[in-house]
Structure 1
C-alpha cells in the first residue's frame, strides 16, 4: 500500500472512532498529480448530501502536463461508498460532536483510495496527555537503545 497524502492534524485534533475506505472520483490529471504526491488533506472534511458523500476542501495541485482545461484544485470530489456505509456515516455524523475527516490517500490494487474516519474533537488536556505519553515512550526507547550499546 503506497501512501500519497496523510492528514496528521486529524489524528492529533480528533479521536478516531471508526474508519472506512472509500474510492474517490477523480479526473485523469488529478490521478497523475496525486501519484506525484501533490495532494493535501489539511483542513478538509467529508460531507454527506442527497445520499452521496463528498470530500470538501482537499487540495490536488493541477498536473503540469495536462493538455485539456485545468480544474479547480479544491473542488468537491464524490466519494464512492455503498448505501449501507453512507447510511451508517449519516447516523454517526449526526451524533453530537461527531464529524467525518479524511485520514489518508493511498493506493490499493492500483486504485486510489481515501481512508475516512468518524471522529470527535479531543480536549486540550487529552492532547497534552498524548504528547507526554509519546515523549515518555521515546525516552524509554532511547534509554533501552543506549543500554544495549554498552
Structure 2
C-alpha cells in the first residue's frame, strides 16, 4: 500500500492535538475539549484524504462521516464523535451575550481523550499499516 502523505500529516497533527488535550485537561478544560475535537477532525480528514474524498472547511464531524460511503468502516466511528463538533468553536468564543460555555465535565473529557487516543491508533494502523 502506498502511503498518503496528506493523510499521514493529518494523523501527525492529530497526535499533537490529543497530546495537548491530555496535558491541558486538568488546568484548562475548555482548551482541552477544543484540542480533543480537533484531533478527531484531523483523524476524519486523514480518512477522507486516504479515500480521495474532498472536504471543505467545516468542523462538523457528522458531516465528515457522512461523506464516507454507507457501510464504510470509519463512518460510524467518526460519527460517534459528532457531539464534540461544537467544541471547535463554542469553547473559544463567548456567546453574543458575553457568557462562557460551562466547563466540560472532567470525567467525560478524560473518557473522550482516551477514546480518541484509541481512534488515532486504529486510524494510524489503517492508513499506514506495518509492512
TM-score, structure 1 as length reference: 0.24
Asked which structure has the greater CA Rg, the reply is 1
